[in-house]
Structure 1
Amino acid sequence: MLDLTIIKAVSIDLDDTLWPVWPAIERAEVALNAWLGRHAPMTAALFANPSARHDIREQILRTRPELKHNLSAIRREAIRLALYRSKENPLLAEQAFEVFFEVRNQVTLYDDALQALEFLSTRYPVVALSNGNADIARIGLSPYFRASISAQAFGVGKPDPRIFHAAAGAVDVAPENVLHVGDDATLDVLGGLNAGMQTAWVNRADHLWTHEVLPHETVASLAELCDLFRTAETRS
């Protein structure tokens, strides 16, 4: 059971917890392809082939294993390699990636996300904890966060306990006094549990829980999570 009396900080996942990520990625892909169509048409044609795009990404991961957790670098280098293979200017990779990244951060928040961030951030230091490459400053959410820890900056991703411990350390709180909130059963919940944190599983789509150990709390929305805090506050 969730023990809110010992919570001193909250860490929260970003993609698919505060917003649905794939619509943003798909829009970014469209913007990138349109830009390449104007500036590097042979590369655009190459990227239109799913198997070729997959082969390029696999080559990057195989030859640059140090980029495993750096989604931005993987994307940028994939564009660069595609430009090279298409005999177009590899120097266009930076500008092409920026086109993608700008749209990737034009997310549509879940209806309850902003109110939840406002509620939580007035009570606790909140840390963004993500394996993705979303930029909370570009999105406009940085005022709600005391710190932001990403796998690509830290070098290790969830569910590794070290990145959870880094989130706790960023606000000078012991892991057992942190509530980690996220949508992914393995990365967020099991990762948080293994790091010694309390966990809240945000299960918006009513998925079945398939693991032996359980989250401290399961909620259908961030609004439901905030209601738990409100109820605890009225009882104290």
Structure 2
Amino acid sequence: MTTAAIRVITLDLDDTLWPCAPVIEAAEEAFYDWLCRHTPRLATVHDLDSLRRHRRALMTDQPEIAHDLGQVRRRSLATLMASFDYSVELAEEAMALFDVHRNRVEPFDDVLPVLRGWSTRFRLIALTNGTANPEATPLRGLFERRLTAAEAGAAKPHPALFQCALAHAGCTPSECLHVGDDPWMDIEAARALGVKAVWVNRDERPWPSELAPPVLTVRDLHQLDDWLGGGGEPAW
């Protein structure tokens, strides 16, 4: 397959570069422990499950912010804090603590060595529906830009994040490669814009039968690095 040389690689974060679930679990536990100590009236009534239900209800009631997970969490917490006569400042303290723990990620073993090499050959842009910030993780300094659903105004699989990346980089879709773990939000969404997309399938999941197969499936970034070769020209 003939393709222009790749200049830009966009990468999903959660579950592509690090496991997401344990990070969120630890962040929410630390967050709730803080609530128990600083807002006991709220914590007596609400556990983590009811806090999640409140956020989901907020997303339904205010769909215009549903793509902005940080705003949803902040607005939900501020509303609950106010209902128990706690200050907005306390809500911001709680969210700051959550954000610190949200960024305590442990990248998969292949990620750091590969991204360090790529950062000297490609422009790397992080695309995320979530709130993780690579600059607050062990990946600091490797991405030239992080783009979020909050900034783009829509979450993947909406094309807005990919369009923002192309505009930021000043490149054509054929000069960009997207790397992600989700068949719909990463692979199908990227290739709908003409961006080639590689599926990172770390746990041998089946590919959805209703989608055309990806141009390439890899088990880790080392395998993709081998495919890209030393000159930045994909080997597919």
Give the CA RMSD over aligned residues.
2.2
| Secondary structure of the structure 1 residue equivalent to 2:32 | helix
| TM-score, length of structure 1 as denominator length | 0.91
Q: Which residue of 1 aligns with 2:151?
A: 153
Letter in 2 for 1:27: A
- Which segments of 5 or more consecutive residues in structure 2 lack a partner in the other structure? none
Q: Which residue of 2 aligns with 1:108?
A: 106
Q: Which residue of 2 aligns with 1:48?
A: 47
1:171-190 superposed matches below 5 A:
171-190=169-188
Aligned partners of 2:124, 2:231: CA distance in 1, in Å? Answer: 19
Q: Which residue of 2 aligns with 1:95?
A: 93
| TM-score, length of structure 2 as denominator length | 0.91
Aligned partners of 1:143, 1:126: CA distance in 2, in Å? Answer: 10
- C-alpha contact 2:5 2:232 (8 A) present in aligned 1: no
- C-alpha contact 2:4 2:175 (8 A) present in aligned 1: no
Q: Which residue of 1 aligns with 2:14?
A: 15
Give the alignment partner of residue 60 of structure 2, picking from 58, 62, 65: 62
1:59-117 per-position Cα deviation (integer Å, ceiling 9, x unaligned):
32234332111111111112112223334334311001111111010101101111121
- C-alpha contact 2:65 2:71 (8 A) present in aligned 1: yes
Letter in 1 for 2:179: V
Q: Which residue of 1 aligns with 2:225?
A: 226
- Identity of aligned pairs, percent? 33
Q: How far is the alpha carbon of 1:231 from its aligned partner?
A: 7.0
| Secondary structure of the structure 2 residue equivalent to 1:199 | strand
Aligned partners of 2:232, 2:175: CA distance in 1, in Å? Answer: 17
Q: Which residue of 2 aligns with 1:6?
A: 5
Q: How far is the alpha carbon of 1:188 from its aligned partner?
A: 0.2
- C-alpha contact 1:69 1:155 (8 A) present in aligned 2: yes
Aligned partners of 2:152, 2:233: CA distance in 1, in Å? Answer: 38
Aligned partners of 1:134, 1:234: CA distance in 2, in Å? Answer: 30
1:95-144 per-position Cα deviation (integer Å, ceiling 9, x unaligned):
01111111010101101111121121111111111111101111143421
Greater Cα shift, 198-207 or 87-96: 87-96
- C-alpha contact 1:118 1:144 (8 A) present in aligned 2: yes
Letter in 2 for 1:11: T
- C-alpha contact 2:6 2:232 (8 A) present in aligned 1: no
Give the alignment partner of residue 202 of structure 1, picking from 196, 200, 216: 200
Aligned residues: 234
| Secondary structure of the structure 2 residue equivalent to 1:209 | coil
- C-alpha contact 2:125 2:144 (8 A) present in aligned 1: yes
- Which segments of 5 or more consecutive residues in structure 1 lack a partner in the other structure? none
